[in-house]
Every structure is written in C-alpha cells, then in structure tokens.
Amino acid sequence: MSGVAAVSGADPATFVGVTGLQVDLSTLAGALAVLAGAYVGARIVATVLSVAAEYSGSRRIGIKVFIPVAKFAIYGTAVYLVLGPLFRLSATQLLAVSGLLAAALGFGLRDLAAGVIGGLVVIVEKPYRVGDKVRIGDHYGEVTDISLRATRLVTDDDTAVVVPNATFFTENVANVNSGDPEMMVVTELAVAPEADIERAVDIVEDALVTSKYVYVDDDHPVAVRVEDEVYHRTVRGKAYVADLRDELAFSSDVTRRALAAFEDAGVETPAIPDRMPATE
Amino acid sequence: MNPAGPDGAPLWNRRQGNVGAGRDWGHGRETVTEGTAAGADRLPGPADLLDGSGQETVDAVVDGDRRGPLAVVGSPFAGRRVVLDHLADRLDATRVHVGPAGPDHGGGTGWAEAEDADTGVDLRIRTGPDADGPGRETADAIVDGGATVVSGCHHLYTRRVGGFEPLDTCLDAVAGADSTVVTGWNRYAWTYLAAVRDLDRAVPERVEVGPLDAAALSELLLARYDDIPTFERDDDLSLFTRRQVSVAGVDLRLPALDRAALAARRGNDPDPRDVVFERLAAVSEGNAGVATTLWERARGSEVRPGDVPDVDQPGLDRETAFCLRVVLASERAHRADLAAVVGDDTERAIGRLRRNDLVTVDGDWVALSPAAVPTAVAETERERIL
C-alpha cells in the first residue's frame, strides 16, 4: 500500500506521511499561518468594502458585489498555497487521493461541497448579490453575506438567517431589486364599496409621491390600481423607494398618511360584514 | 439671436447687463470687509445667465415666434428674476409673483435674492398656511388676458396629500391661456414636479438659468469694487474638488482634479486669480448668487484660493436632510407648512439646520441661506431625496 504510514527513523519533526506527501510541524505551522492570514485578509477586505459601500449611497450594492468575489479569491489562493506544496503527487497517487476525496465528499462532506459549488454558481450567475433583497424559500430579507458555504440574510425583523448556498439548486429565488438600490413597494389600502374611489385614488397617489422615501423617474413610475373585492375595494399603490432599506418605512408612511387623508376627506374604509362568508 | 438696440449695439452685451440696473446690489447679512461698490451698474443680464439655446428661446418668445408657455428654471439665488424681469419688460407683460407671506429674509444677494421683493410686481399672491386660494388667484391673473410673467410658481404646491391642487389649478389656466405665459421655477421644485406631476409636459418650453463660468464670475464680481484685492498663491490648496456629474439621470458629486489648483501648485499659472475663480465656480456650481456670497466671505486685502471654502458635508440624518430638501425647493417656507410636510421632527430638524448655518429663521419663517445651496444639494442628493 502506498497510502498513509507511520514514518520511523525519519526526521523527528516529521510525524505522518503519505508517499509523496510530507507533513512536518513547520509545514503545518505554515499552513495554519496561511489560513489565518487568509481569514484575517478576507475579513479586512470585506470590512473595507462594506464601509466604502455604505458610504457610497446608491452605489452600495455595486460595491458589495465584490465582497464574496474577493473572499473566494482569497480563500482559493490560501487553499492553493497550503495544498500545492503538500500534494506533489504522481498520477497514480493523484488517483488514489481523488478516490479518498470523492468518498469523503460522498459520505461526509456532501452538503459542504454542494454549498461551495452553490456559492460559486451564485458568484458567477449572480441570482442575487450582497445588498439585494431576496426571498429564498420561506425567508425574505437583505443579503448581508455570501460565504463559501452559505448566504446570510437579515429579515425585516432583524433576524439573521443562514441559507446554505445549495438551496439555490432546489428553491425558487425571488430578487426584488436585482442589484439596484431602488425597489418597488406595493402598498394596499382597503376602502368601502360605497366610498368615492376617485378621491381615494388621488389620495393614495399623493401619499406615494409626497413621501420622503419615494424615487420617481421615467424608469421608476408611480401607479395606482383599483381592485374590486367581495366586501371592499383595494387601492393598490406601487412606487419605488430610493433605498431598498426604506421599504417598510415607506409603506408605513404612505399607509399612515393615506388613512389620515381618507378620514379627512370622508372616504369610508370597509366595515366588518355582519356575516362572514361560509368557509368550506 | 441677440437683438440690436437703437444704437445698433447688441442689447444683450455681457459687459452691459443692464436689465437689473438701479437695483440694490445688496449683500444681505453677509459682512463686507472692505472696499466700495464701484460697479453697481454691472449686474448680470440675461446674456450672462442663459446659454445660447436659452437666449434663442427667450428671443423667440419675445419676438412672438413662440407663445409659450415658457418655464424659466434656476437654482436658488442664481438670478431667475433677472430673466423674468427682462421678459416682462420686453413682453410688456403683467408681472405676477407668488410667494410666501411674512418678512423678507434678507439672506440673499441683492439682484439674485429669492424672488420676494415687491419691486416691479403688478400682483403679489401670498402663500402660506393662511393663504386663500393662491392657485385660483394665479389662474385668474393668467386668464385675464395679455402676456403674463409669473414668478415663484414653486410656491403653488406643498409636498403633502392634497397639496398639489393650487398647482393644478394654475397649470389648467396656463394650458388654456391664449396669450404668452412665462413661469419661473426653482430648479429642485421643477425636478420634483416634473417627476411626479409631469410638469415638463404641461410646460414643455424651458430655459435654464446659469451656470456662469469662472471668467464670467470674475468679471461680474470684480467689477463691483474700486479696490481689487491682491491674489496670492496657496500652496496648501487641495488638488481635488467636487463636481456634479449626471450618471444615468442621477446627479452625483464626485471628486475631480482641480486643474487650476494643480497648475498653481506646479507654478505654471502666473495668476492665482484664475485659481480663485475656478474654485469659486466649482464650489458654487456657477450659481451667481452663491458665488457672490462666498466671494464676500473670502474677500479681504489678500485673497487666496483656500479662502474659498469647499462644500461642507455635515452628514445630516434622513429627516433633517428631507427638511432641507423642502426648504431648498421652496427657498422660504412657513414653519406650519414645513411641519405639515416633514412631520413631528420639524422643529428639531430646523434647529439642526440652523446650527449648521444652512437656514435662517425669522419668526415663523425658515429661509435657505445662499452659501448653503451647495451643501444642501450635496447632502440631499447623497440621500437621493427627490
């Protein structure tokens, strides 16, 4: 067998060896130093890019897209530096190690490998980037980090959710802003069937365009739609916010001011019906 | 086209600029350190304040080739009034001014002051919390017949639910007018209203006031005094300034190499005066009123490029920046109107703006400070407030 064997009579610093693979304390220390340096370097680069992105306002997402790319590059380089000198293998040895690696991936590290490959696909295909607002499965929030294994979201309730990158292969991913700082926010208000619907539409439109968070231009128009429901009518206002982080603040601002204006203008909101429809 | 006067000389001679002659070249509350006003008749005329196409448009309206409606759009203190007065004079038009009630803030720069002065105005329509139908009054003035020049149209709306009704009433009258109607607008109010109310479709013909380049500012400002200050080199001057660049419709203030400062540092520029006025033009973005205020602050027996302050960016929070944007777009507003727009944080926001010398407060009235325009623009556009 040309596999792992204890080395007797060799350099005392060498405690384990694979034929063609020599691991001694200095090699191990060097590898640890490289990995630690990569970790620190990745953190520094991520921090610097994050600070620069937050300062740059509307270009925030465009800068943050480089964070996972930089981390992948740094960790990839570190792995190469660690394993390169270790594995100077012949073709036969390479085959043997590959077999071992395949077995390891198949049995124990399958999820980790799927996560890493998913991360690479996320980097290359860009279904979302750091800073985007996405819905992955049941989770909706802002992407704050894309690491080797997983994507981290922060929900509107300030809960951090770690989603394995492999989820990208099995779940639908909805990206509400696709790398832009602006995002559409839909605000719904209900009015009574007998209410002055034209007045209600005017009020909702005014509430949208006068908000401090709104962003309007030819590519980001404002629209108000009316839908007739069973017991009420829904006035649905659609407008963009300049910064996707203002999504909830905008929606709340518009709702609050529109409801106040409904009351001032005598636009009735729906009452609870006397009898609810029978449910099956 | 530049029409000729009776003597055959162009009416719009950059050296003459006599449209505003005789008006006060005041400096509001800014302190004049020394020197005497020598060039009181050297006021900017429309030729100073409009580019070639703008002048052609104005000429066409004056000559009757176009009946409008025409919008004259400019930044605060940039000199809209000069162009509007010129048009009123040439069209023999009824001069209407829409503006908030209350005391004049006195923070302007004479000719380029916010359009609050009553001089030469046939009808002044008051706005504010107690105003009674400014939109209807303006519309009546427009439909009464004859050419009409209306300044201060940005006071016809309030940024709140139901706040556009006076504006809509006025625009209906403008659309239906048989005679020439010229309207004056604050640039930032225009941008907002064009985005949310399609104002640029209601008034498709538009001329922009400014900006002035360094040479024009130098000529304009130095002509005022008998004693010209000594211009000294400033070796410590920053090589970078900020310039406004429009990228995909978004105005950004990006760092830019100050070529005049670079030339001065290399010793290639024998005249630091050029450096001073290049810097003044960059900081003020060619806004004549802002440049005048900054110049008055910098002026002494010696002037160095470093005496022209860079754009300050105090880092305002969102509510304060929004309040500042509302003041920037209205130039002067009543506290009650601001409270209706900004909400519960209005008083604290006004306090922060006042402490940063961005606004002046006179009783219930809040006014934009001329020197604060570059900061107000930079701060609010950094937050991408419309």
Indicate yes or no: CB of B159 within 8 angstroms of CB of A210. Answer: yes
Residues B9-15 have a mean pLDDT of 32
Q: Which two tokens stand for residue B275?
A: 């450096």
* Residue B350, C-beta contacts closer than 8 angstroms, at least 6 positions apart: B323, B335, B338, B359, B361, B366
pLDDT given at position A210: 95
Q: Give the number of other CB atoms < 10 A from CB of residue B292.
A: 30
How far is it, in rounded angstroms, from Cα B385 to Cα B379?
A: 9
Closest CA to B70 of B52, B45, B88: B88
Nearest-CA residue of chain B relative to A246?
B318
How far is it, in rounded angstroms, from Cα B175 to Cα A223?
A: 24
Residues B202-206 have a mean pLDDT of 90
Give the 3-state secondary structure of B215-261: HHHHHHHHCCECCCCEECCCCCCCCEEEEEEEECCEEEEEEEECHHH
CA distances from A3 to A92, A97, A119 (A): 11, 9, 32
Q: Which two tokens stand for residue B269?
A: 């520029």
pLDDT given at position A188: 95
How far is it, in rounded angstroms, from Cα B324 to Cα B368?
A: 8
Write out chain B residues lying below 8 Å of A212, CB-based: 318-319, 322, 342, 385
Residues A219-223 have a mean pLDDT of 94
Q: Is B87 helix (H, G, I), strand (E, B) or coil?
A: helix
Closest CA to B205 of B386, B48, B56, B46: B56
Helix axes A91-107, A110-125, angle to 10 degrees: 100
Of B161, B196, B341, the CB nearest to A203: B161
pLDDT given at position B29: 29
User: Which of A192-196, B130-134, B175-179: highest mean pLDDT?
Assistant: A192-196
Give which of A58, A182, A212 to mutate to test B binding, by max B Cβ within 10 Å: A212
φ, ψ of residue A243 in degrees (nearest 5) = -135, 125
Write out chain A residues lying below 8 Å of B383, CB-based: 57, 242
Residues B139-146 have a mean pLDDT of 80
Strands A183-191 and A173-175, sheet pairing = unpaired
Residues A131-138 have a mean pLDDT of 89
Q: What is the pLDDT of residues A239-273, one digit of tens each?
A: 999 988 899 999 999 999 999 999 999 998 888 76
Q: Which helix (H) or strand (E) holds A77?
A: helix A66-86
pLDDT given at position B109: 46
Positive or negative torsion for Cα B282, B285, B291, B297:
negative
pLDDT given at position B218: 86
**pLDDT surpassing 90 at residue B184:** yes
pLDDT given at position B243: 67
pLDDT tier for residue B24 given thresholds of 50, 70 and 90 = very low
Residues A166-184 have a mean pLDDT of 85
Write out chain B residues lying below 8 Å of A243, CB-based: 384
Q: Which two tokens stand for residue B299?
A: 């002026």
- A-side interface with B, Cβ within 8 Å? 57-58, 181, 203, 206-207, 209-210, 212, 214-217, 219, 222, 242-243, 257-258, 260-261
Do residues B229 and B295 lie in contact, with contact meaning Cβ atoms separated by under 8 Å? no
Write out chain B residues lying below 8 Å of A219, CB-based: 249
* Residue A125, C-beta contacts closer than 8 angstroms, at least 6 positions apart: none
Do residues B379 and B321 lie in contact, with contact meaning Cβ atoms separated by under 8 Å? yes
How far is it, in rounded angstroms, from Cα A127 to Cα B287?
A: 45
How far is it, in rounded angstroms, from Cα B111 to Cα B345?
A: 34
- B-side interface with A, Cβ within 8 Å? 159-164, 195-197, 249-250, 318-319, 322, 341-342, 382-386
Stronger pLDDT, B16 or A117, i.e. the higher one: A117
How far is it, in rounded angstroms, from Cα B233 to Cα B303?
A: 9
User: Which of A2-16, A266-280, B110-124: highest mean pLDDT?
Assistant: A266-280
φ, ψ of residue B96 in degrees (nearest 5) = -115, 135
Helices (H) and strands (E) in chain A, counts: 8, 12
Do residues B214 and B274 lie in contact, with contact meaning Cβ atoms separated by under 8 Å? yes
Identify residue B242 by its one-letter amino acid code.
R
pLDDT tier for residue B111 given thresholds of 50, 70 and 90 = very low
Q: Which two tokens stand for residue B316?
A: 């305002």
**How many residues in total does chain A contain?**
280
pLDDT given at position A32: 87
B231: left (phi over 0), alpha (psi -120 to 50) or beta: beta
pTM of the model: 0.74
**pLDDT surpassing 90 at residue B73:** yes
Indicate yes or no: CB of A243 within 8 angstroms of CB of B384. Answer: yes
Write out chain B residues lying below 8 Å of A58, CB-based: 250, 384
Which DSSP string do the residues of B194-208 spell out, in sequence order?
Answer: HHHH-HHHHS-EEEE
Place of tokens 């019906």: A273
Residues B72-94 have a mean pLDDT of 90
How far is it, in rounded angstroms, from Cα B167 to Cα B222?
A: 40
Give which of A183, A189, A198, A210 to mutate to test B binding, by max B Cβ within 10 Å: A210
Do residues B139 and B173 lie in contact, with contact meaning Cβ atoms separated by under 8 Å? yes
pLDDT given at position A87: 63
Q: Which two tokens stand for residue B266?
A: 């290399």
Round the average pLDDT of chain A to a whole number and report it. 81
Indicate yes or no: CB of B164 within 8 angstroms of CB of A206. Answer: yes
pLDDT given at position B14: 31
Of B159, B196, B319, the CB nearest to A222: B196
In A126-265, where does DSSP find H-type helix?
Answer: 167-170, 197-209, 247-265
Write out chain B residues lying below 8 Å of A222, CB-based: 196
